[in-house]
A = this chain, B = another copy of it.
Amino acid sequence: MSQHDDFGPRPGEESVTLPERFDAGLHFIGRLRTPWTRRADCPKNGTQSDAVCTAVVDPLFAPALQNVTGASHLILLYWMDRADRTLVRQQPRHAEGSRGTFSLRSPARPNPIALAVVELLGREGDALRVRGLDCLDGTPLLDIKPYYASTDARPQATVDRAGTR
C-alpha cells in the first residue's frame, strides 16, 4: 500500500491533470469490515492474512445476494477512496525506479477500483464472511461476482517485475 496522497509525487513519479468531469458514477453497495484501521497494519495482499473479514451489503441491494453461497470463491470489487488518482508513474515502496501505474496493483490509479479473490466462508443475513482481503475497515464495496475457475484462473500466468519497456 502506498501513501502518495499524503505527500505528493516522489522523484520519478508522474502526475496528470484529470478531466474536470466524470464519465460515469458509482453506487456504494455496502462496506467491508476488516481488522485493519491503519494502512500500515494492512497485509500486503489478501493471501498474507488468514483474517476472516465481512462484506456487509446495504439492505437496498441485499436481494441481489440470493444464490451467492453457491460459489466457493468470489471476486470483490471495492473503492480505494483515499487513493491518489493522478499518478500515471509511481515508485513502489520496495522497488528500484518508478513504474507505470497499469503495471502495478497499487491503489493509486485513475479509477481506484481494487479487486480481491476471496474464499466465501458463509452468509449471515446481509453479510458475507470471507477470507482474502487486505483493505482498511470501512472500505466501500462496489460489486460481488462469482469466481469461475474456467475464465478467471490462469495459474500459469507470469509477471516479470522488471518489465520490458
Closest to A128 in B: B102
Task: Name the interface size band of chain A.
Answer: 35 or more
Closest to A63 in B: B88
Supposing A75-B115, A102-B65 touch, asked if A164 and B26 sit within 8 A by C-beta, the answer is: no
Partner-B contacts on A (CB < 8 A): 14, 16, 18-19, 22-29, 45-47, 57, 60-73, 75, 77, 79, 81, 85, 88-89, 99-105, 109-111, 113, 115-117, 123, 140, 142-165
Judge whether A165 and B66 touch: CB under 8 Å. yes
Closest to A71 in B: B159
Judge whether B163 and A103 touch: CB under 8 Å. no
- Picked from B70, B73, B115, the residue with its CB within 8 Å of the CB of A164 is B70
Q: Which residues of B contact A150 (CB under 8 A)?
A: 47
